[in-house]
């Protein structure tokens, strides 16, 4: 039976840790120059309704390294952009390619695509979740820290798709998570309620210093995500104190690491000093999108 990668809570801890194990193996093979063509001759259809740098490049390069081929399909140049129903796209794509990665706005659209497709579907980002990024983030933590499930994680900024994904991760992996957002910018209440039912250890606050105190992993994202550009000025005021800077790093664990999914608006949500500083693992994190997504594709399509 086919399996999709739409949301972390659809997967068990054991299943996700197997993806980490495969990510480690594939990364080592690439670094050693060993071929790992696990998807020889297969094709991934990549549907984009949102712009992208890391998602497009990492999936496309990843398929090539796995021995397959990736097709970039933007909504502006396909029938999706002219209103073709998802149910038609799903059934046609299922007859052409071996897997689909979609980066779009609506989580409901991704779930409909997966339900109607005969092939695996990977969520490359929606307004609700960014599970591939979260897996790359955690894999980066695993590389830099031991016992990643015993650490305290801190999210500072918007209660956006990344915050929702961190809450899902806390529910699945069992680590402590602190979320600091301005009032009115909290994560999705349904995501919060589901995580609570699953026994997640999540603390919500409007004080970034309280959230960061003693934390081993600090994380943030832009104040205004794609589609929120008209709110930029309003958000700049609301988020003015929600920045990962020297003061925040100083109250965290002395050996803390700093994550950012990129692109970063330097000196807004994170200072240039921090992203270029000794605690930053941001570019290891960006590289790991490639290795983790290869493992996800190989697990679903192999």
**What structural domains does the chain harbor?**
8-130+286-301 (3.40.50.1370), 133-283 (3.40.50.1370)
The closest alpha carbon to 179, from 196, 197, 190, 167, belongs to 167
pLDDT digits (tens, 9 = 90+) for 222-265: 998 766 677 888 999 999 999 999 999 999 999 999 999 999 99
**Could you list the active site residues?**
103, 130, 133, 221, 261, 289
* Tokens representing residue 87 in the block: 């149910």
| 255 burial level (CB within 10 Å; 0-12, 13-18, 19+) | exposed
Binding residues for L-ornithine: 161, 221, 225-226
Please determine, for residue 55, whether its predicted confidence score (pLDDT) is greater than 80: yes
pLDDT digits (tens, 9 = 90+) for 120-137: 999 999 999 999 999 999
Angle of CA points 204, 208, 195, to nearest 5°? 25
Binding residues for carbamoyl phosphate: 52-55, 79, 103, 130-133, 261-262, 289
CA distance 236 to 232: 6
Residue 42 has a pLDDT of 98
pLDDT digits (tens, 9 = 90+) for 60-108: 999 999 999 999 999 887 887 778 898 999 999 999 999 999 999 999 9
Please determine, for residue 207, whether its predicted confidence score (pLDDT) is greater than 90: yes
pTM over 0.85: yes
The closest alpha carbon to 212, from 246, 253, 264, belongs to 253
């Amino acid at each position: 039976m086919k399996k999709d990668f739409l949301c972390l809570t659809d997967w068990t801890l054991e299943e996700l840790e197997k993806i980490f194990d495969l990510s480690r193996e594939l990364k080592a093979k690439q670094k050693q120059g060993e071929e790992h063509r696990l998807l020889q001759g297969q094709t991934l259809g990549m549907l984009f309704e949102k712009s992208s740098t890391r998602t497009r490049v990492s999936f496309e390069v990843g398929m090539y390294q796995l021995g397959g081929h990736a097709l970039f399909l933007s909504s502006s140049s396909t029938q999706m952009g002219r209103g073709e129903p998802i149910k038609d796209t799903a059934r046609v794509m299922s007859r052409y390619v071996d897997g689909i990665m979609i980066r779009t706005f609506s989580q409901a659209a991704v779930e409909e695509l997966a339900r109607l497709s005969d092939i695996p579907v990977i969520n490359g980002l929606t307004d609700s979740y960014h599970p591939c990024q979260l897996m790359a983030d955690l894999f980066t933590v695993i590389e830099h820290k031991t016992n990643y499930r015993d650490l305290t994680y801190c999210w500072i900024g918007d209660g956006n798709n990344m915050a929702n994904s961190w809450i899902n991760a806390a529910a699945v992996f069992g680590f402590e998570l602190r979320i600091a957002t301005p009032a009115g910018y909290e994560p999705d209440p349904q995501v919060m309620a589901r995580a609570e039912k699953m026994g997640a250890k999540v603390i919500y606050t409007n004080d970034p210093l309280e959230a960061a105190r003693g934390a081993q992993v600090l994380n943030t994202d832009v104040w205004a995500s794609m589609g929120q550009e008209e709110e930029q000025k309003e958000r700049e005021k609301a988020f003015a104190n929600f920045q990962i800077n020297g003061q925040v790093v100083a109250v965290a664990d002395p050996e803390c690491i700093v994550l950012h999914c990129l692109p970063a608006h330097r000196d807004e949500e994170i200072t240039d000093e921090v992203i270029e500083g000794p605690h930053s693992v941001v570019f290891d994190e960006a590289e790991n999108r490639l290795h983790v997504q290869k493992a996800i594709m190989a697990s679903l399509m192999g």
